[in-house]
Structure 1
Amino acid sequence: MSETNSTETPETRAYVIHPDIPSREGQRHLPEFALAEAVSLAAALPHLEVVGSEIAKLRKPEPGHLFGSGKLAEIKERLEANDVDLVLIDGPVTPVQQRNLEKEWGVKLLDRTGLILEIFADRARTREGVLQVELAALSYQRTRLVRAWTHLERQRGGLGFVGGPGETQIEADRRAIDEQIVRLRRQLAKVVKTRELHRAARRKVPFPIVALVGYTNAGKSTLFNRVTGAEVLAKDMLFATLDPTMRGLTLPSGRKVILSDTVGFISDLPTQLVAAFRATLEEVLEADLILHVRDISHPETEEQAQDVNDILAKLGVAKDVPLIEVWNKIDAVPPEPRAALLVQETREPDLQAISALTGEGIAGLLAAVDEKLAEERFIEEITLRFAEGRKRAWLHEQNVVRAERQTDDGWSFEVEWSGSQRNRFRAL
């Protein structure tokens, strides 16, 4: 006799609110698009059903509750009518505001950072990815120990990853979190060292690294799958890929490259997450060529592109790393603007219009990548002091040394390298 599986996690009924605060600094996206993105973020979590959403216009945030008393009561009615379990606030919420709103509405609440942490925790696959998420979550949790989380005391099994303990244990819990952070950092150091060994081995294979970057949901994974034949998770879902996936790719000329698919960037990415995932994006930092994949059909494609450029700058990606802008989803653009985009593409060498879904433009993109990587190589003489052993090791790892001799003060080299390799060497 078959039995119903009673261990299945029930759906959590969620309600998404985007606070529209005109004075908010750095606000780049229109409220309706910001709300749509927040709803998509929520939909990226399993066992979560979005039962409603709204834009809440605020003149200024109230220190204690974020919203004024009238708006609080109005929202509470909607939450009760929809039997809501979880409210997602698309923006920053202070610990005090979070505690008061949960008490007022009788629901669990997550702000934007908490929601992104939940998604990162659900998507992380590699050991390093998991440790990165735990470290970021503990740092976030530590700042919120003023709250009474008594109704959230459960192990992570869906939502609740960024939950914490009750107020009476604040100091003990802070110490426990600090100790756990130290342990995680030690574990992470070991994992990063292992990855460094893997990267060192990869550098000895003289294949250039081509990194896909872009706003989340721009179609990077679909493009990755299209050109490599890999089956990376490619869904119409934000943050579908978190840990970098790398595959070999042979270009039309026969040149072999390593293609790296990375986590999608997003506006207002919490600072602690940029820091935590820096190591996960090392392939971007070491790339010989970056493909910036854009959803050219999105109404806010320009704003999304600027968000990506801002995060690349925060990550320290050198401006002199060659970059091709890839206008994806050209198939979703209406005929007239599409024709204009294709004309613009012909005028700009570092721009390629494609559809990763249909395959349109892929051959042209691969040819452009081929051409970009066939850059002029330079033969130069350089000298290093004995104290610069790290730079010497880097030269050998890159296989650019044609000749080497020891001098009284250090070493003299004859190297053959590309402009991007020269720039990376100078940045060491």
Structure 2
Amino acid sequence: MLEKKSIDYEKAILVGVITQTQDETKVNEYLDELEFLTYTAGGEVKKRFVQRIDVPNPKTYIGSGKMEEVEHFVNENEIGSVIFDDELTPAQQKNIEKILRCKILDRTGLILDIFAQRAETSYARTQVELAQYEYLLPRLTGLWTHLERQRGGIGMRGPGETEIETDRRIVRDRIALLKKKLMKIDRQMETQRGNRGALVRVALVGYTNVGKSTLMNVISKSEVFAENKLFATLDTTVRKVVIGNLPFLLSDTVGFIRKLPTQLVESFKSTLDEVREADLLLHVVDISHPNFEEHIASVNQILGEIGCAEKKTIMVFNKIDQYHPETIEEDDLVTERTSAHFTLEEWKNTWFNKIGDRALFISALNKENLEEFRKRVYDEVRDIHVTRFPYNNFLYPEHLDEL
């Protein structure tokens, strides 16, 4: 159970659907993650509503009966926000707001809100603002309900429509301005990357909240912000690291997540240039999370989208100190043994069989197996450096006792 501090958490409820493409187990996994997102944004989930439906209702996402149930709970419990697990269409959001008369958010809107809270630098704030405006543009009509008129052609050409069109133009102009600003910053960052010289570049990638920033702090002996919330890191942090006598650049990037909003992938693509230009990726995985294999698949999908699927990668399974497999009693002949019951040793054998010695198992927090980790990173960086500068081999000792 998440520990609550003395903060005024906004009351919220979550809504998801069981469909032909996602079963009850999958929906519960997504809602668990959505609850963590809600907590990160400053909300407290009071209840979850799940409906079994072939496809989401095109008008209200859920059916009328379930909507009445939600409406009753909202009114009885003074709920501030109703959060839907999938992205709502502008029409769905507008229709739901009319019925529930409270704040309606979908997963995309919630993630954008968290990003807005977490953006520290001008660059991150500009990226988030661009994503927010692009998300907002098709939903502007919902903001003018106080000026709405009867549906139809005649009588619709009033001040409300004029105001909406004016607002759309302002938003489009703002989007164009933000894109120009990002292009300018991107050119500056490209110059900065070019000025770093020929050092080998290593990038930490992975799902959000897997411990990338903690690992960054341990390796680089720096103080990068890290906490047990989603998207603690938005801005890419780059540090010069020396292992043995070998220097290289290590970057910590924004965490990925399932159903990552398209707007964010687009606006943060420039941040992910650190990943594109890296010589080596350290794919950090929270092995203590029950769905870590799905997290790996989500990260690999996004890496594929930005053209990094074939990069040299080491899988770093973090948080081994928190991994606790489910147990089956010896006399239990009913329960089927699944991967949830694997011991850590079995997981190691599984991944060693898949990718050989490109899998490492560590605890960044407790500094377990970090010597093996450093040695492996050193070897990989050295190989890249030797290939790039074949005449500098004398720099590397045969034995790295100093590691």
TM band (smaller chain): 0.7 to 0.9
Give the AA of the match of 1:293. Answer: V
Matched residue SS, 1:146 = helix
Corresponding residue number in structure 1 for 2:185: 191
Q: Indicate the residue corresponding to 2:31 in structure 1.
A: 35
Deviation at 1:187, TM superposition (A): 1.6
Identify the residue that residue 97 of structure 1 maps to in structure 2: 92
1:324 is aligned to 314
Q: Is the 8 A contact 2:200 2:384 kept in 1?
A: no
Deviation digits for residues 75-113 of structure 1 (CA, Å, limit 9, x no counterpart): 112222321011111101111111111111111111111
- State the SS of the aligned residue for 1:19: strand
Which one of the candidate residues 242, 247, 257 is aligned to 1:250? 242
Q: Deviations over 1:89-148 (max 9, x none)?
A: 110111111111111111111111111111111111222111111111111111112313
**What is the rounded CA distance, in whole Å, between the counterparts of 1:287 and 1:141 in structure 2?**
34
Report how far residue 342 of structure 1 moved: 3.8
Hey, what's the Cα distance between the residues in 1 that align with 2:33 and 2:256?
12
- Equivalent residue number for residue 64 of structure 2: 69
Q: Note the 1:379-418 alignment, pairs <5 A.
A: none
Name the CA shift for 1:88/1:243 in 2 (closer, same or farther; >3 Å).
Answer: same
User: CA–CA distance in 2 between the matches of 1:417 and 1:35?
Assistant: 53
Q: State how 1:50-199 maps to structure 2 within 5 Å.
A: 50-148=45-143, 169-199=163-193
Match of 1:368 among 354, 361, 376: 376
Taking structure 1 as reference, are residues 99 and 201 closer, same or farther at Cα in structure 2, changes over 3 Å only? same
CA shift for structure 1 position 344: 4.7
Q: Distance in 1 between matches of 2:182 and 2:100?
A: 39
* Change beyond 3 A, Cα 1:10–1:297: closer
Q: Secondary structure at the match of 2:14?
A: strand
SS at match of 2:294: helix
Residues 58-83 of structure 1 deviation map (CA, whole Å, 9 limit, x = unaligned): 22211211111110011112222321
Structure 2 residue ranges without an equivalent (≥5): 1-5, 147-159, 326-341, 394-403
SS in 1 for 2:95: helix
Partner of 2:12: 14
CA contact (8 A) 1:127 1:191 kept: no
With over 3 angstroms needed to count, the CA separation of the structure-2 counterparts of 1:55 and 1:219, relative to structure 1, is farther
Task: Confirm or deny: 8 A CA contact 2:201 2:280 kept in the other structure.
Answer: yes
Moved more, 168-177 or 287-296: 168-177
- 1:377 positional shift: 6.5
Aligned twin of 2:324: 334
What is the deviation of 1:302?
Answer: 1.0
Equivalent position amino acid for 1:171 in 2: E
Q: Is the 8 A contact 1:13 1:86 kept in 2?
A: yes
Given the superposition, is the C-alpha separation of residues 51 and 229 from structure 1 closer, same or farther in structure 2, using an over 3 Å criterion?
A: farther
Gaps of 5+ in 1: 1-7, 152-165, 380-399, 403-414, 419-428
Q: Which amino acid aligns with 1:23?
A: T
Q: Deviations over 1:137-184 (max 9, x none)?
A: 111111112313569xxxxxxxxxxxxxx7662211111111111111
- Aligned to 1:349, what secondary structure does the other structure show? helix
The answer to whether the 8 A contact 1:354-1:362 is kept is: yes
Tell me the distance in 2 between the aligned counterparts of 1:11 and 1:326. Answer: 35
Secondary structure of 1:364 counterpart: helix
Three-state SS of the structure 2 residue aligned to 1:298 is coil
Deviation, structure 1 residue 197 = 1.9
Instruction: Report the secondary structure of 2:245's partner residue.
Output: coil
Q: How many angstroms does 1:349 deviate by?
A: 1.1
> 2: CA distance between counterparts of 1:345 and 1:227?
24
Give the Cα–Cα distance (whole angstroms) in 1 for the partners of residues 200 and 229 of structure 2. Answer: 30
Query: How many Å separate the matches in 2 of 1:343 and 1:127?
Result: 45
1:357 paired with 2:357, answer: no
Question: Are the aligned partners of 2:31 and 2:85 in contact in 1 as well (CA < 8 Å)?
Answer: yes
Larger helix proportion of the pair: 2
Aligned residue pair count = 358
Point out 4+ residue stretches in structure 1 off by more than 3 angstroms: 8-11, 148-151, 342-347, 376-379, 415-418
| 3-state SS of 1:292 partner | strand
> Which stretch has the larger CA shift, 93-102 or 167-176?
167-176
CA contact (8 A) 1:28 1:303 kept: no
Q: Percent identity?
A: 39
TM-score, normalised by the number of residues in structure 2 = 0.82
Match of 1:239 among 231, 234, 237: 231
Deviation at 1:417, TM superposition (A): 11
Q: Under a length normalisation based on structure 1, what TM-score does the superposition of the two structures give? A: 0.77
Contact kept? 2:203, 2:251, Cα under 8 Å: yes
